[in-house]
A and B are shown apart, each in its own frame.
Chain A
C-alpha cells in the first residue's frame, strides 16, 4: 500500500492504536475487514447466520485487541476468531448428511488406475459452464455446509480465502501437513460432487 496521495495506515499501526484505546482506529479496522469477514462467515456457516458471526467476531476483536501480541499477522488472528465464532454457530444448528461423502471420492481399479474415462474425469472443471449460476451457488453452499467441520475450515481458508498453508495452520492451530491433508480430502469430495452435479460418476 504505497504510492497513493494519502497512504492508508498499516494493520500493525491500526492494531497498536486500537489496543491503546483509539476507537477510531478500531472503526477503521472494522471498515477494512468487515466485507471479508462476512464473506468468510457465509462460507463457513450460511447467509442467515453470517451477520451474527460477523458481529461476534468484531466484538471479540475489540475485547481481545489489548492482549494481541503480534506473534501472527493480524489477519490470521482475525480469521481464527471468525472461524471459532462460526464453529459456535454451527454447533447450534448442525445438519448431518444421510449418505457418506466418500461416495464422491475418485474410484480406482485393482491396478490403481482411475476407473473413469479422461472425458468423465475432466468434466468437473466445466461445472460452472454447464450448470445454472444460481443453482450451482445454492448447491455449493449446501455441500460445503455438509463437510465435516475440520475439512470445511481447512478448505474454506486455504482454497476459498486463498490463505497460504502456513497461515491456515496458524489460524486453526494445526500443522501445515494436517491442513494439506484436510484441504486435499475436501477437494477430492467436492470435485466428485461437481462431477455428479453434471451427471458423471466421480
Chain B
C-alpha cells in the first residue's frame, strides 16, 4: 500500500480488528487513522454499531414460550415427562 486513504482503511477495518493484517499494512493504517479525524470518527461509529444493535435486539424468554417448548418436546420425545 503506497498511500493509505480513508477508503482503504474502511475496506481493511474488519481484518484490522480481527488481527489478520500484516504488520506493515497495520502500521500504515494506524498512521493514517491517527492523523485523520474522519477515520477516527468512522471507526468509533463502526465499533458502536454492534453494541447498539446488540442492546436494541436483546430479548428474554417469556414464561409462556418456555412452557410451550416443554409441552412440544413432551409430545414428540421422551423428555419432559416428569414435569
Interface residues of A (CB under 8 A from B): 23-24, 26-27, 30, 34-35, 38-39, 42-43, 47, 50-51, 54-55, 58-59, 62, 106, 108, 111-114, 116-119, 121-128, 133, 136-137, 140-141, 144, 159-160, 162, 165, 180-181, 183-184, 187-188, 190-191, 194-195
- A interface SS class: helix
Interface residues of B (CB under 8 A from A): 5-8, 10, 13-15, 18, 20, 37-42, 44-50, 52-61, 65-66, 68-70, 72-73, 76-81, 83
**Chain A to chain B contacts (Cβ below 8 Å), 16 pairs:** A34-B66, A51-B68, A59-B72, A62-B73, A112-B8, A113-B5, A113-B6, A113-B7, A114-B39, A114-B42, A124-B45, A125-B44, A159-B49, A159-B53, A180-B15, A187-B14
A108-B6 contact given A114-B38, A116-B38, A180-B15, CB 8 Å threshold: yes
Interchain CB contact (< 8 A) of B45 among A113, A125, A160 = A125
Q: Are B57 and A124 in contact (CB under 8 A)?
A: no
Q: Are A140 and B65 in contact (CB under 8 A)?
A: no
Cα distance A119–B41 in the bound complex, in angstroms: 7
Shortest Cβ distance from A53 into chain B, in angstroms? 11
A194-B69 contact given A23-B77, A47-B59, A180-B18, CB 8 Å threshold: no
Q: Are B54 and A194 in contact (CB under 8 A)?
A: no
B49: chain A residues within 8 A (beta carbon): 124-125, 159, 187, 190-191, 194
Interchain CB contact (< 8 A) of A117 among B38, B44, B69 = B38
A24: chain B residues within 8 A (beta carbon): 79
Q: Which residue on chain B has the smallest CB distance to residue A59?
A: B76
- B interface SS class: helix
A54-B65 contact given A136-B56, A160-B57, CB 8 Å threshold: yes
Q: Are A159 and B50 in contact (CB under 8 A)?
A: yes
Q: Are A127 and B52 in contact (CB under 8 A)?
A: yes
A144-B20 contact given A54-B65, A184-B13, CB 8 Å threshold: no
A144: chain B residues within 8 A (beta carbon): 53, 57
A39-B68 contact given A23-B78, A112-B7, CB 8 Å threshold: no
Q: Are B61 and A23 in contact (CB under 8 A)?
A: no
